[in-house]
Amino acid sequence: GFTQSDVAYWAYNGTGLYDGKGKVEDLRLLATLYPETIHIVARKDANIKSVADLKGKR
């Protein structure tokens, strides 16, 4: 089958959308649909310089 990379990762590791549901032990893929790139934007006064700085923020 086809899936998005993040959803496949969550299913395989039991995290994200699959948190509390356990790992999908028999996960099989034909292909991922596309590479995923994200952009993270923060206000200048948020003092966020790296992804690690996001921890604990909302």
Give 3-12 pLDDT, tens digit per residue.
Answer: 888 888 999 9
Instruction: Tally the domains of the chain.
Output: 1
**Residue 34 pLDDT class (50, 70, 90 cuts):** confident
**Residue 14 pLDDT class (50, 70, 90 cuts):** very high
Determine contact, residues 34/3, Cβ cutoff 8 Å: no
10: containing domain:
2-54
Alpha-carbon torsion angle 41, 47, 48, 52, nearest 10: -160
pLDDT at position 4 is: 81
| Integer angstrom CA distances of residue 1 from 8, 12, 29, 30 | 11, 14, 5, 5
Output the CA angle 11-12-15, nearest 5 degrees.
55
